[in-house]
Amino acid sequence: MTGTTPASPGPAQGSGELALPRPPGFFRRWIDRHPRTVDIVIATVTVLIPAALIPIMAATVSEWPLLPVGFVCAAALFAATLLRRRIPFVLLVIAIITGAIPVVGEPLGVLSAWVALYSLAVFARSKQAWIGFALTTLVWFVTFLIDNTDSLDFAPDAAAPAVWIQVVAFFLQAASAFIVPTLVGLWVGGRRRYERALIARAEDLARERDQRAQLAVSEERTRIAREMHDIVSHSLTVMITLSEGAAAQAEAGSDRAPAAMRRVADTGRDSLAEMRRLLGVLRAPDAPAELAPLPVNGSIQTLVSQFRDAGLPVRWHGEGDPIPSGGGVALTTYRIVQESLTNVLRHAPHTRHVDVTATNIDGTITLTIDNETTAASPPADGTGRGLVGMRERAALHDGTVEAGPRPDGRWRVRVTLSTKGTT
């Protein structure tokens, strides 16, 4: 009737609570909350109270030498009963030994054996409970045969069948007496183990839910970081390049400086609009975001034109089918080309030409961005997040990214994307 694990746990770890029903009944909940008190009560009822009758039983049969032995066994049973949750089999062994003591030990042994068998079934495995039941029944049966050797006559005469019937009857009586606490303990123990399994499963589900939520937040942060990097890096690089060009033209007295500065303003306004859309999603996660249409093939050509206006000699080549309009592949190709050209403008602004080639054949898009490296290229001051973001975007479409110098002195970025299963 007892258990060490409460059937009604507290809140689960994480943002939510693990809502589980409480065990039925006040008595059951009180037992679960006070296991030590329950053990003391059981030890008092099954050991201390019967031990108080030991002197009376010893005086009845004039067996005073058995009195100290009875008290020693009672003390051992009391201590083992208090520890029955940890060492139920030890309690059973002490109960069997005590039950073998004539007169003073039998009542103590029987009661403690019941407690031990119940505890074995609840706090140990079912196999141990059945072993304990078989051992207890066998020992009590053998003790009966030893105590009644004189009265039982196994000679082959007419009375033999009656003797065997008496032996079988006592064996069944002993088995029936000890099977009750064993079955009750197995039922209670099985129910408690099933409850603990349900609680553990619910806690695992709660933790898994919180982990999924954390992963979703992390993925969303990574996506937003990629978008912010693409927007800020591209726009600022173009604006800085145009501003430097406009300043140089203004110093030279050229009339193209105002047009260049207007281009800077247009780039800044476009970037500001993209930033507002992105931050709007963060401010109102439940509201539909005001998003611009996803870039298509023409948008990439517009992007190339923007870099040409910034002074980067870009040549565009398209082969095969057009890049799918809309969807994740279109956005990925746009952002990868944008990042690659931004890197060229930042790290190799004096390159003589940049070739951007896009092929779409048999559901596979291949992007190749080649540029010449120059001795006048400024030192790289990036953090490498651009290439990381490109690889992350390509991985979403079963793609790969290769970036590095070539033996002919050119720098190449080669990206492959799969359009199969993409909408």
Residue 348, pLDDT > 60, answer yes
Tokens 């870039």 sit at which residue?
A: 295
Residue 6, pLDDT > 80, answer no
Residue 162, pLDDT > 70, answer no
Element (H, E) at 173: helix 160-251
60's tokens = 């009845």
Across residues 216-223, what is the average pLDDT?
72
Q: What is the pLDDT of residue 170?
A: 78
Cα separations in angstroms, 154 against 123, 142, 146, 172, 261 = 42, 15, 13, 19, 121
* Whole-angstrom distance, CA of residue 33 vs CA of residue 38: 10
pLDDT digits (tens, 9 = 90+) for 18-71: 555 565 667 777 777 888 888 888 888 888 888 777 777 666 655 666 677 777
Residue 1, pLDDT > 50, answer no
* Whole-angstrom distance, CA of residue 99 vs CA of residue 103: 9
DSSP character string of 334-390: HHHHHHHHHHHHHH-TT-S-EEEEEEEETTEEEEEEEEE--TTPPPP---SHHHHHH
Average pLDDT, the chain: 75
Q: Can you list the domains of the chain with their CATH numbers?
A: 26-211 (no CATH), 295-423 (3.30.565.10)
Residue 95, pLDDT > 70, answer yes
* Residues ≥6 apart with Cβ < 8 Å to 48: 74, 78
* Whole-angstrom distance, CA of residue 47 vs CA of residue 120: 18
Percent of the chain with pLDDT over 90: 2
Element (H, E) at 309: helix 297-309
Q: What share of the chain is helix, strand, coil (3-state, %, to 5)?
A: 65, 10, 30
Contact between residue 121 and residue 185 where contact means Cβ atoms under 8 Å apart: yes
pLDDT digits (tens, 9 = 90+) for 198-216: 878 888 888 888 788 777 7
Residue 9, pLDDT > 60, answer no
Q: What is the pLDDT of residue 295?
A: 54
pLDDT band at 415 (very low <50, low <70, confident <90, very high): very high
Of residues 108 and 164, the one with the higher pLDDT is 108
* Whole-angstrom distance, CA of residue 393 vs CA of residue 332: 6
Contact between residue 374 and residue 345 where contact means Cβ atoms under 8 Å apart: no
Tokens 């490296």 sit at which residue?
A: 373
* Whole-angstrom distance, CA of residue 185 vs CA of residue 205: 30
Range from 131-145, 153-167, 388-402 carrying the lowest mean pLDDT? 153-167
Residue 14, pLDDT > 50, answer no
Q: What is the pLDDT of residue 291?
A: 47
pLDDT digits (tens, 9 = 90+) for 287-344: 444 444 445 445 777 888 878 877 788 888 888 888 776 667 888 888 888 888 888 8
Of residues 79 and 230, the one with the higher pLDDT is 79
CB count in 10 Å sphere of residue 170: 16
Cα separations in angstroms, 163 against 140, 142, 177 = 18, 15, 21
Question: What is the DSSP-derived secondary structure letter of residue 322?
Answer: P
Across residues 195-200, what is the average pLDDT?
80
Residues in the chain: 423
Residue 364, pLDDT > 70, answer yes
* Residues ≥6 apart with Cβ < 8 Å to 43: 77, 78, 81, 82
Element (H, E) at 208: helix 160-251
